[in-house]
Amino acid sequence: MGLGGLACWLAAMAQPQPGALSQLSAGFQQLSRRVHASVVRVSTVGYRQLEPEESEEPGVAARQQSSGSGVVIDPDGLIVTNAHVVVGAQRVQVMLPPRPGEARARSRSVRAEVVGLDLETDVALLRVGEKGLPALEMADSDHVEQGQLVFAFGSPMGLDNSVTMGVVSSPARQLRPDDPMIYIQTDAPINPGNSGGPLVDTEGRVVGINTMILSQSGGNEGIGFAVPSNVVANVVEQLRRTGRVVRGDIGATVQTITPTLAEGWKLPRDSGVVVADVEPERQADAAGLRVGDVILTLNGRELEDARQFNVSLFRPAVGETMMLEVLRGTKKLKLAVQVAERHDEASTYAELASREENLIPELGIFAVDLTPALREQLAPARSESGGVLVAARHADSAVLEEGFRAGDLIYAVNRMPVRNVAELRAFLKKQKSGAALAFQVERGGKLRFVAIEVP
């Protein structure tokens, strides 16, 4: 039943007619049957990086089992879920619902491949080796409105095939000021395990992917959030094409102007967007952008706050030119700024870390080869001839107190150059328990030695 049908029912309730409630219930039942055929449960076994409250040191990983939900978006086996459900997973299993129309049909568990994930939007794309799956259509989340009726599907607390109902509390909610990421807020009950499941409209179209709740008790308190479908569609397209998400950057930081900021910094206006930082020798610097410039328009579009500016950087292709109109004092200027790829080392480490094949148990770390492609994503390294990146440390490591840190670059051990993980593994296999190992590493741009004994 669409919104039009619901409106007719509400009008009919003003003049009650026999069977009106039954018709509404039947519409909801039909919607649930259709959507549930596309909703899956996702189970993972692997490693995750510990939260700040669990470990004082960043980049520490521990083994875990977790579960969430997902939704089929392509009949050829593509499934969307949350990145936090599958990050660090060694094995991903998807429980598919019974095939429609089959006698004595049962749910079936299949292995899934992680095509790619994006931590910033908390979206991941999976692929299973099955064809002809019932897929849900993506709605245009720009048309979602406050008060709109929505349904949250998934497997909360491991309870398969669950649905809850509510309304859109806000169609574009920011959790932090100037955060480029926006969410659909809903009061439809969302609980642990709902993560990755679809939030759908009354036509059964996906308006968002359930991702988190705000709660003081740990349970549902009517404040749930979903990633808008338009954001999901953009991320999925990039993950499908390249396995990663590329975002733009111009080497500048902007903030929303407040009256207090305008008065204290002597800005020419008390609202809009101001440039807070311009990184030397980056694109914004080369274009002539300066700290204190007020950005009036971006590609002809007026800007009201920093979120609009940051969101705009999600979309342009690397190498594209953006036109900025800025106010510097009383003078208006037009600047052409080229978009570069944004690099995020923390996300890079998290995506590389916690995979079983990267675990080096003798050192209690997860390590990856420092390839040319990875080197481009990190700060300039002191060595240009290979090396190994420490992506994370294992929480159960015997050398946890005095070993490596996430982000360390290993160049040598006992004066022997380490060009890749295979060479490091081969060297460690030859060492006896108690043997002394002296590693040369780069940490924060500075070389140092890390000395440990083989456990």
The token duo for 165 is 């109902």
Catalytic residue among 43, 66, 67, 84: 84
* E strand intervals along 162-306: 162-173, 183-186, 198-200, 206-213, 224-228, 248-249, 252-256, 273-278, 294-298, 301-302
Q: Within the chain, what is the greatest distance between any pair of CA atoms?
A: 87
Q: Select which of 118, 122, 187, 305 is catalytic.
A: 122
66 counts as catalytic: no
Secondary structure (3-state) at 310? helix
Q: Is 84 considered catalytic here?
A: yes
Give me the phi and psi of 216, to 5 degrees please.
-90, -20
Instruction: Please provide the DSSP assignment of 28-88 as one string.
Output: HHHHHHHHHTTEEEEEEEEEEEPPTTT-SSSSEEEEEEEEEEEEEEETTTEEEE-HHHHTT
Alpha carbons 26 and 160: distance in angstroms, whole number: 21
The answer to whether residue 293 is catalytic is no
Of 38, 169, 195, 354, the catalytic one is 195
Alpha carbons 53 and 62: distance in angstroms, whole number: 14
Between helix 3-14 and helix 20-36 the angle, nearest 10°, is: 160
Catalytic residues: 84, 122, 195
